[in-house]
Copies of this chain bind each other. A is one copy, B any other.
């Protein structure tokens, strides 16, 4: 039987695309696609045959990917989880690992890389052969400044699904017009969303926004 995979992403378009790509390789089956953490948990509760692997978006409204990962791992520890994100945010990486994620891939990762990652994860996770990776894990698990994710959730008003979608497009280099084109909405609307995002995150430029996510 092929590798069974679940996909959790609030953006149906993205999960659809990932699923299509994966199916083309003919090496995996898509067990389920969920567009929220709650949905994913419900699916797992209702079904007996769980996928071996779940691809989990981090940036989701409501229950985010990290919390979802934590809950899934508490109930079904055998399921491996790979986080998908467009941001390599420090606090997120740290929390994802603590929550039990086995891998952490950027969304724009190429297909072969993804497939290789699947194999590695299923073979017992961390291919930490070089000493560097060992140290890395030790440091991450051993004690990174935990104060960060507190701030992280306290200061932040939650972004809506649409806002997260726009945020991701901004973070991949799209200007307002391009975003409007891709989402089939007016540039005015995009600008308004961006305005709201800025207010919620206390930033006031695209660069600051990226820094907010990336530098921490």
Contact = CB atoms under 8 A, between A and B. Distances in A.
Contacts of A181: none
A163 interface: no
B126 A135 contact: yes
A206 B110 CA distance: 25
Contacts of A145: 110, 113
Contact of A127 (B88, B117, B128, B140): B140
A93 B134 CA distance: 7
| Interface residues of A, dominant DSSP | helix
Interface string A73-91: 0000000000000001110
A14 interface: no
A36 to B, nearest CB: 25
Interface of A: 88-90, 93-94, 97, 103-106, 108-110, 113, 116-117, 120-121, 124-145, 170-173, 175, 205-208, 210-211, 214-215
29 contacts: A88-B134, A88-B135, A90-B129, A90-B130, A93-B130, A93-B131, A93-B133, A97-B132, A103-B141, A106-B138, A109-B138, A110-B145, A113-B143, A116-B142, A120-B141, A121-B141, A126-B135, A127-B135, A127-B140, A127-B141, A128-B132, A130-B139, A130-B140, A132-B136, A133-B136, A170-B207, A173-B207, A206-B207, A207-B207
